[in-house]
Chains A and B, each alone.
Chain A
Amino acid sequence: GIQVEQSPPDLILQEGANSTLRCNFSDSVNNLQWFHQNPWGQLINLFYIPSGTKQNGRLSATTVATERYSLLYISSSQTTDSGVYFCAVDADTDKLIFGTGTRLQVFP
């Protein structure tokens, strides 16, 4: 099956800093989503981005499908950005395979 690797596993930032999270996947995908899991466990859908670039406020994402990676950019980070960021993919099965996540801690 598809392997999904995320890096870095942990990230500690001061408020206001920018960061880039990476997701590598081992095969072609039809679906790629980025999620934020907040400290209370709620998974929040950030982007549906099987290819191309999207932006939503301070967050943006780029997926280069031909090179099998996706990047999530967080600019001007805030303490509320803390949590775990997951990349999840599927190859036309509607079955999402989640990566291991990047744990982000933002300090004031």
Chain B
Amino acid sequence: EAGVAQSPRYKIIEKRQSVAFWCNPISGHATLYWYQQILGQGPKLLIQFQNNGVVDDSQLPKDRFSAERLKGVDSTLKIQPAKLEDSAVYLCASSPARTQYFGPGTRLLVL
């Protein structure tokens, strides 16, 4: 069984630029999550989808972050414009029920 796929693996941008991350969950997993992990901390949930609907986006900075999950499969997370404090690893996870399975993450550096 293929795992959660994410791309790109690394991204370096300048502040005020925009960036997008892509996630392909494990086939058949209805729930998809995006997390932000700042260096030295545990992951923090940004947004949760159930199929193509948003379940929880209370921690998503909506003035600059947006996410969508078209057709209930792949998802994209966008930051526009990026700030220095957005430098982090962005992790995507999917779940068939309770157990969450994580992708390799995208490391973002904002200069």
Chain A residues proximal to chain B, CB less than 8 Å: 30-31, 33, 35, 40-45, 48, 86, 88, 93-96, 98-101
Residue in A closest to B93 when the chains form the complex, CB atoms: A43
* B55 touches which of A31, A35, A88, A94 (Cβ 8 Å): A94
Pairwise interchain contact B45-A43, C-beta atoms closer than 8 A: no
Provided the pairs A41-B89, A41-B104, A94-B31 are in contact, do residues A86 and B48 lie with their beta carbons within 8 angstroms?
A: no
Closest 9 CB pairs of A and B: A98-B42, A43-B102, A48-B99, A31-B98, A41-B105, A98-B43, A42-B104, A86-B42, A95-B45
Would you call B27 an interface residue if the criterion is a C-beta within 8 Å of the partner chain's C-beta atoms?
A: no
Pairwise interchain contact A43-B48, C-beta atoms closer than 8 A: no
Would you call B56 an interface residue if the criterion is a C-beta within 8 Å of the partner chain's C-beta atoms?
A: yes
- How long is the Cα–Cα vector from A35 to B41 in the complex, in angstroms? 14
Chain B contributes a number of interface residues (CB within 8 A of A) equal to: 22
Would you call B67 an interface residue if the criterion is a C-beta within 8 Å of the partner chain's C-beta atoms?
A: no
Please list 22 pairs of residues, one from A and one from B, whose beta carbons are closer than 8 Å in the complex, sorted by A's number. Answer: A31-B98, A35-B102, A41-B89, A41-B105, A41-B107, A42-B105, A43-B105, A44-B102, A45-B101, A48-B98, A86-B42, A94-B31, A94-B48, A94-B98, A95-B45, A95-B56, A96-B45, A98-B42, A98-B43, A98-B44, A99-B42, A101-B42
- How long is the Cα–Cα vector from A95 to B104 in the complex, in angstroms? 20
- How long is the Cα–Cα vector from A35 to B45 in the complex, in angstroms? 15
- How long is the Cα–Cα vector from A48 to B101 in the complex, in angstroms? 11
Pairwise interchain contact B56-A93, C-beta atoms closer than 8 A: yes
